[in-house]
A and B are shown apart, each in its own frame.
Chain A
Amino acid sequence: MVPEIYYLVLSAILFTMGALGVLARRNALIIFMSVELMLNAANLAFVSFANTYQQLNGQIIVFFVIAVAAAEVAVGLALIVAIFKSKHSIDVDQMSSLKG
């Protein structure tokens, strides 16, 4: 049995790497993927807690997080496509103007 703290440390490492990706990269798609990585790190912590305390709630939360992530990706990628159509770039530095 692997101690719970190992999973939490791994989850923290993955979350931090996702946060670093959001902060350091300028490609909107990579930023979006980093957000997904952060969601996964949180999910890993939830499932780890569910295993430790033998409670099902953690797994159910993860189920809902996955469903919401699917919805979020659909809308987010549609937004990126719409931005690319008007700006011909997905560099987040280019999205600096408020009009069109």
Chain B
Amino acid sequence: MTVDLILFLILALVAVATAAGMLFSRNAVYSALFLVLNFASIAVFYLLLGAPFIAMAQITVYAGAIMVLFLFVIMLLGAEQLAPIKVLPWQRPLAIGLAAVLVAETAYLLILRAKPAADIIPPAETVNTLGELQRLGMALFNQYLLPFEVTSILLLVAMVGAIVLTKREKGERE
């Protein structure tokens, strides 16, 4: 058992446990904090997979910006603990049944259909240069320049949309 594998197993345990904590905690603030921990563990996976830039983006954008926004909204709405108003009796069994179907599908794809992709032979590189920031930047600004620019427009539209949605209309009753 190598060090990599031990590290993977510990982190996988953390990731799954925090995901379960996010799902089952009654308090929405706890859910958000569990999810921050989950994102941090996934960032360490990215480091293990040789993607330091994605790991840092994960920490700053997901664990930083997005989850802070979530916590801000949870506390703004005072929605930490919402009492269940009316429980649909069939919802939980149906949800668990559908999730079981999804588990069966993924297990089928991963185990039964998994065959070694012999047609795509990874280049035999001795030094893993995949995560080097220079290569990523060159690809991003040459090959993927148009999607990059479209992303900036998307972020602008999202910003304007968020402002429009939360803006109070003129003459709106409170």
Chain A residue numbers with a CB within 8 Å of B65 are: 70
Complex Cα–Cα for A2 and B49 (A): 9
Considering residues B23, B35, B128, which has the most beta carbons from chain A within 10 angstroms of its beta carbon? B23
Complex Cα–Cα for A50 and B129 (A): 12
Complex Cα–Cα for A74 and B11 (A): 29
Assuming the A-B contacts A1-B4, A2-B8, A15-B106, are A54 and B130 also in contact, with contact meaning beta carbons closer than 8 angstroms in the complex? yes
Interface residues of B (CB under 8 A from A): 2, 4-5, 8, 12, 15-16, 19-20, 22-23, 28, 31-32, 35, 38-39, 42, 45-46, 48-51, 53-54, 57-58, 61-62, 65-66, 69-70, 73-74, 76-77, 79, 82, 84-86, 88, 91-92, 94-96, 98-99, 102-103, 106-107, 110, 114, 117, 120, 122-123, 125, 128, 130-131, 135-136, 139-140, 144, 147, 151, 154-155, 157-159, 161-163, 165-166
Contact B38 A40 (CB under 8 A): yes
Complex Cα–Cα for A66 and B23 (A): 22
A82 proximal to B (CB < 8 A): yes
Chain A residue numbers with a CB within 8 Å of B128 are: 54
Chain A residue numbers with a CB within 8 Å of B66 are: 36, 69-70, 73
Chain B residue numbers with a CB within 8 Å of A17 are: 16, 19-20, 23
Interface residues of A (CB under 8 A from B): 1-2, 5-10, 12-21, 23-27, 29-30, 32-34, 36-37, 40, 43-44, 47-48, 50-54, 56-57, 59-60, 62-64, 66-75, 77-82, 84, 89-91, 93-94
Contact B98 A71 (CB under 8 A): no
Chain B residue numbers with a CB within 8 Å of A47 are: 45-46, 49, 51, 54
Contact B5 A2 (CB under 8 A): yes
Complex Cα–Cα for A31 and B35 (A): 12
Assuming the A-B contacts A53-B122, A75-B158, are A69 and B62 also in contact, with contact meaning beta carbons closer than 8 angstroms in the complex? yes
* Chain A contact residues, majority secondary structure: helix
Assuming the A-B contacts A20-B96, A23-B94, A68-B151, are A89 and B58 also in contact, with contact meaning beta carbons closer than 8 angstroms in the complex? no
Complex Cα–Cα for A29 and B32 (A): 9
Complex Cα–Cα for A94 and B79 (A): 15
Contact B130 A51 (CB under 8 A): yes
From the candidates A29, A36, A56, A66, name the one contacting B130 in the complex (CB within 8 A). Answer: A56
The 7 nearest A-B residue pairs measured at CB: A71-B158, A23-B95, A24-B95, A78-B165, A78-B162, A20-B99, A12-B106
Using CB atoms, name the residue of chain B closest to A90: B79
